[in-house]
Amino acid sequence: MKRATYILLLFSLSRCFTPDIYLPEIDSEKINLTLNIDEPSSFIKLGYPTSTLSKQKHNWQLKFDNNSSSWGVYTNPSQPIRIINTNINRFELINNKSIDGNTIWQYDEVKKNQIQSSIGSWGDFNFSNPESHKDVYVLNWRQDSVEYYFKFQLLDASINTYRIKYGPLDGTETYTDSIIKNDIQLYSYFSLVDKKKVNSIEPLTDDWHIHLNYQVDSISKYSRIPYSLTSTENIGLFPSAELNYKHVEIHIDSLLDYEQINYIEAKNFSYEKSNSVIGLFYLKDQATNEIKLNSRQNLILRSQEEYYALRPINLIGNSVNNYTVTLEIKKL
């Protein structure tokens, strides 16, 4: 009888303890990506195996948000394109005399892993069709050793279309165009110089998660991040990662070792939607100003209910202008 009682007691006590969870060993894979300011950029599609895609580089100046509820307009992140809002809505009044040596130019910049547009809030978005303020903007950039000055105006927008007016600042030519939103890419791209939409910049939305590229921003903001000099004082070209905010949320971790990150840890992280991270995976060698790996920075991505961890493990080259990075990727 006593023996039966002891067995019953042990069985009851065993139910009070949660059994250990044994996670299987996680396979990882390694990919090599080459970044060059004059070459195509690299898009990564997570999965097992991970796939990469390079898109041909084109000259373009503006990209328009295709999200049905968003109306952001942004500049090419790999070119120092500067902008002023003249706060004048008569297109014909803006000319070469509208700018001078005292003009205060603005650039797109990254704040809290989000791109802040230098064009900004160009209309009243409390209507189903946004009501444009019709302010005329002046854009300036250098392309193939040519200095360009253009004026640009958002005329109006319908449920899925931007309508724009633009032309050289000297007023010699004026054009109007419509940019129709599509739901198979994050952005629509436009070349003011070529006067047309550029279709081959970005893969279909379902075909990528991360885009390794460059982003212009203020040198003084990122003293620890390597950069390439540009033709504009105090503006640098930084290595960056663009995120497909429709498919991924991110958590950047510098506390855990990469080997410690597993599915259970990942589920407990807090995640945010982001569209750009400057200097991810890299630090500046303070003695030489050359690029080096940030071995303590891990990127964890959540895509629906799947989790991935990425880290840099090797770097070939010491210049931001041209280097090859090896990323280790594991699906948790």
Q: What's the pLDDT band for 9 if we cut at 50, 70, 90?
A: very low
The string of DSSP codes covering 7-50 is HHHHHHHHTTSPPPPPPPPPPEEEEEEEEETTS-EEEEE-SSS-
Q: Which pLDDT score is estimated for 52?
A: 85
Checking if the pLDDT of 7 tops 50, the result is no
Model confidence at 22: pLDDT above 50 = no
Strands 146-157 and 161-168: antiparallel
Which whole number is the average pLDDT over 62-70?
Answer: 91
Q: Quick one: average pLDDT of 145-153? A: 95
* C-alpha of 6 from chain center: 63
* Residue 232 scores a pLDDT above 90: no
Q: How confident is the model over 271-303, as pLDDT tens digits?
A: 999 988 998 899 999 888 899 999 889 999 999
Q: Does an H or E element contain 141, and which?
A: strand 136-143
- When pLDDT is cut at 50, 70 and 90, the band that residue 26 belongs to is low
Which region, left, alpha or beta, applies to residue 275 given φ > 0 means left and ψ of -120 to 50 means alpha?
alpha
Q: What is the pLDDT, as a whole number, of residue 25?
A: 57
Query: HSE on the CB side for 273, CA within 13 Å?
Result: 5
Residue with tokens 């992280």: 269
User: Does the structure show a pLDDT above 70 at 238?
Assistant: yes
> What average pLDDT does range 143-156 have in this prediction?
93
Contact 261, 270 (CB under 8 A): no
Report the SS3 class of residue 207.
helix
pLDDT at 23 over 90: no
52-56, 123-127, 146-150 — most confident range: 146-150
pLDDT attached to residue 134: 96
Give the Cα separation of 208 and 230 in Å (integer). Answer: 29
Distance CA 109, CA 286 (A): 24
Quote the distance between the C-alpha of residue 203 and its chain's center.
14
C-beta separation of 127 from 119 below 8 A: no
What number is the average pLDDT over the span 125-133? 87
Cα separation, 242 vs 19, in Å, equals 41
pLDDT band at 69 (very low <50, low <70, confident <90, very high): confident
Cα(278)–Cα(240) distance, integer angstroms = 4
Mean pLDDT of 239-251: 93
pLDDT (0 to 100) of residue 56: 66
Give the model confidence (pLDDT) of 181-217 as tens digits: 998 999 999 999 999 999 888 999 999 999 999 999 9
Q: How confident is the model at residue 49, as a pLDDT?
A: 79
**pLDDT score for 13:** 43
The pLDDT of residue 27 is above 80: no
- Percentage of the chain with pLDDT > 70? 91
